[in-house]
Structure 1
Amino acid sequence: MSKFDATTSSPWRRQRDLYRGGPHHLAWHLGGNPEGAPWLVLHGGPGSGANPGLLAPLDLSRHLAIVPDQRGSGASRPRGSIVRNHTAALVSDLETLRRQLGLERWSLLAGSWGTVLALAYAQAHPQRVQRMVLRGAFALSRREIGGLLNGAASGKTLSVPVTFWPAPRSVALPALLARLCQLLQSGTPAVAGLGAARRWALLESRAAARGLWRALLAAEGSVAAGRAAWASQRRRDRRMAAGFQRRGGRIDGTDRALLRKFRIQSHYLLRRGFVRPGGLDRAVRVVALAGVPVDWVHGAFDAVCPPQNSRRWHAQMERLAPGSSSLTLTRAGHLGHEPHTLAALRQKVRRS
């Protein structure tokens, strides 16, 4: 019998728990082939939590998937907590999990914010990383964060009403993030905090929809899958907006999840992910010089994280260690489940 109690049929059925001291319990899932190549799968956000869709690029008949909820995210407890919650702590959690599983090395699959955490982990523990597949790399730049929060990433046709937003578009980004933190940190949020969380959710959703739409406009030949993804995203937007209007100032389970998510996200973004200026470039350098191969996959129409992020880091790796990096630009936006991006991720993950 294997030391891993994993299952290919329903890897999400059993949630596991790793106590990390103080208040924190890390929730994580294990699935796939117990004897397969291990893949650590990192969710985005920060604060989003893991979901079964993250496993789509893997072949669970020959891969072992390890999927944690980062501190305060998803089912990790305390939910929404920012106490002792920073990037170095997340890296420590992952290394403790690796040791508990008795794995010598593992590969990393990550998207969006997850790419920041993957690079931070690989910088701290390069000898423990077999290879990495990184989608929609996030650079923690003012352009990315500000573009999302001021609505620029959503586009004019996908603008979101400013009700309950804590500051006008002209306010500097640090001041806006500080105000969002203040609104969202309360254990009993006021109507303004609830409104801010709802609007942030719509901004995220509609920025993703914009990338989908731009990809669809540029499509050639069959676009059925792209149209289906676009229609699904627009239905999600409409349901979300309608639900917020129906609920008004009343808080339900969906709102509580949003408040927890954006409490963590505002905490991290205000502090630029707890990464010092130039920190991600240094991490990429360490990864390249350590000989860790990286496949960068990025939607060419990503309205959240610009493709230039992956282009730049791919070029940096190739200068330092030729042949260590590959770059795939897909006809897609930011989301990992968009057809062209998912196909590219599957090709990169399943090649070995």
Structure 2
Amino acid sequence: MYNLTKPFEAAKLKVSDIHTLHYEISGNRDGVPVIFVHGGPGGGCIEQDRAFFNPEKWKVIFLDQRGAGKSTPSANLEENTTWDLVKDMERLREHLKIDKWHVFGGSWGSTLSLAYSQSHPDRVKSMVLRGIFTLRKSELHFFYQNGTSHLFPEAWEEFIAPIPEPERGDFMLAYHAQLNSVDDETRLRAARAWSKWEMATSKLHVNPADIAEAEKDDWANAFARIENHYFINEGFMREGQLLEKQEIEKIRHIPTIVVQGRYDVVCPITTAWQLKKVWPEITLNIVPDAGHSSRERGTTKLLVEATDKFVDL
């Protein structure tokens, strides 16, 4: 990864009566524009992600999505849908007077990147995607009901602990009730457990520092509430919409590199494989010794190589 640079611009963009978004720009003021699309939803941008881009060539744009990161109000679910976020990205592009930009996103960031590019295919020069996620019921069921639980039984026990036995037939729905409780402690306990489950399963070799992040109440509250809100509502999309032939046709011309961990149990490789089948023109790189995180050595290497390749398009 490249050396970190400080942003040369940090500002707010009001996008509705409720939401004000935080964005930052770093790298080269006159460089090639790329928007970094963070995960979650609700995760927010972190400064280390600037290091995927050569700061001498790229103009790197960070945008904290509605309710996430430094955007306000934190963890707010009103007027917070996939299509609101797509509109926000386009508002920011227009605000910054950028004609076309490159798009980089992983996990939920890959979902939003696909949704944005299918809505505005003439504004995207390339995409670098990681850990493909399309919010199909089968993907959500695997991670939150029956699948990953077989591989991480000890972490699963902690995840299901806040949920009473009679409510365990649908963990996403049961968590939805607790994450929206009027009782602060109920809500925060659920948020910590929800967030810890994802942090505990995101790497082939789990990093205790990632799990510790889930214990931070403010971050966990936004991350868990917004994720659950999107998942309960199936991403505000048709089932399998992002993989539909007519949607792929809109973006088939966009050069795209996908990096996917073989042992990703958060966003399993089967979804990346489905994307490759409907869109054979993409480059699909499978990392043989990686899980879900962008911070695993093989995944990081391929992501940096991808941004180096596309900067000269």
Alignment-derived partner of residue 200 in structure 2: 206
Q: Which amino acid aligns with 1:315?
A: K
Is contact 1:164–1:196 with CA below 8 Å preserved after alignment?
A: no
The two structures have a TM-score, normalised by structure 2, of 0.89
In structure 2, relative to structure 1, the CA distance for the partners of 1:170 and 1:22 (3 Å cut) is: closer
* Among candidates 258, 262, 274, match of residue 312 of structure 1: 274
Q: Which amino acid aligns with 2:163?
A: P
Alignment-derived partner of residue 234 in structure 1: 208
Q: How many angstroms does 1:83 deviate by?
A: 0.8
Alignment-derived partner of residue 286 in structure 2: 329
In structure 2, relative to structure 1, the CA distance for the partners of 1:208 and 1:86 (3 Å cut) is: same
* Percentage of matched positions with identical amino acids: 29
Q: How many angstroms does 1:135 deviate by?
A: 0.3
Q: How many angstroms does 1:14 deviate by?
A: 5.0
Q: Which amino acid aligns with 1:287?
A: I
Map 1:165-184 onto structure 2 (within 5 A): 165-168=162-165, 171-173=168-170, 176-184=171-179
For residues 276 and 131 of structure 1, the distance between their equivalents in structure 2, rounded to whole angstroms, comes to 25
* Among candidates 208, 211, 233, match of residue 271 of structure 1: 233
Q: Aligned-residue CA RMSD in angstroms?
A: 2.2
- 1:39-82 C-alpha deviation (Å, 9 max, x unpaired): 11000001111111222221111001111000111111111111
* Among candidates 144, 155, 160, match of residue 157 of structure 2: 160
User: Is 1:287 the counterpart of 2:282 in the alignment?
Assistant: no
* Among candidates 128, 132, 137, match of residue 133 of structure 1: 128
* Among candidates 282, 293, 304, match of residue 346 of structure 1: 304
For residues 158 and 284 of structure 1, the distance between their equivalents in structure 2, rounded to whole angstroms, comes to 37
For residues 169 and 332 of structure 1, the distance between their equivalents in structure 2, rounded to whole angstroms, comes to 36
Report the count of equivalent residues. Answer: 302
Larger radius of gyration: 1
Structure 1 alignment gaps of length 5 or more: 1-7, 214-229, 245-253, 319-323
Alignment-derived partner of residue 302 in structure 1: 264
For residues 169 and 297 of structure 1, the distance between their equivalents in structure 2, rounded to whole angstroms, comes to 39
In structure 2, relative to structure 1, the CA distance for the partners of 1:280 and 1:172 (3 Å cut) is: farther
Q: How many angstroms does 1:312 deviate by?
A: 1.7
Relative to structure 2, which stretch is displaced further, 334-343 or 145-154?
145-154
The two structures have a TM-score, normalised by structure 1, of 0.80
Q: How many angstroms does 1:307 deviate by?
A: 1.0
Partner SS for 1:48 = coil
User: Is 1:119 the counterpart of 2:114 in the alignment?
Assistant: yes
Partner SS for 1:305 = coil
In structure 2, relative to structure 1, the CA distance for the partners of 1:162 and 1:132 (3 Å cut) is: closer
- 1:115-154 C-alpha deviation (Å, 9 max, x unpaired): 1111111011000000101000112133432333347425
Q: How many angstroms does 1:234 deviate by?
A: 3.3
Q: Which amino acid aligns with 2:222?
A: R
Partner SS for 2:157 = coil
For residues 119 and 169 of structure 1, the distance between their equivalents in structure 2, rounded to whole angstroms, comes to 37
Q: Which amino acid aligns with 1:105?
A: K
- 1:81-131 C-alpha deviation (Å, 9 max, x unpaired): 111110111000000100111111001000000111111110110000001
Q: How many angstroms does 1:350 deviate by?
A: 0.5
Q: Which amino acid aligns with 2:208?
A: R
Alignment-derived partner of residue 148 in structure 1: 143
For residues 15 and 266 of structure 1, the distance between their equivalents in structure 2, rounded to whole angstroms, comes to 29
Partner SS for 1:56 = helix
Partner SS for 2:34 = strand
Alignment-derived partner of residue 260 in structure 1: 222
For residues 222 and 79 of structure 2, the distance between their equivalents in structure 1, rounded to whole angstroms, comes to 15
For residues 175 and 167 of structure 2, the distance between their equivalents in structure 1, rounded to whole angstroms, comes to 15
- 1:325-349 C-alpha deviation (Å, 9 max, x unpaired): 1110012110001110000001111
Partner SS for 2:61 = strand
In structure 2, relative to structure 1, the CA distance for the partners of 1:149 and 1:278 (3 Å cut) is: closer
Q: How many angstroms does 1:303 deviate by?
A: 1.0
Q: Which amino acid aligns with 1:285?
A: E
In structure 2, relative to structure 1, the CA distance for the partners of 1:285 and 1:292 (3 Å cut) is: same
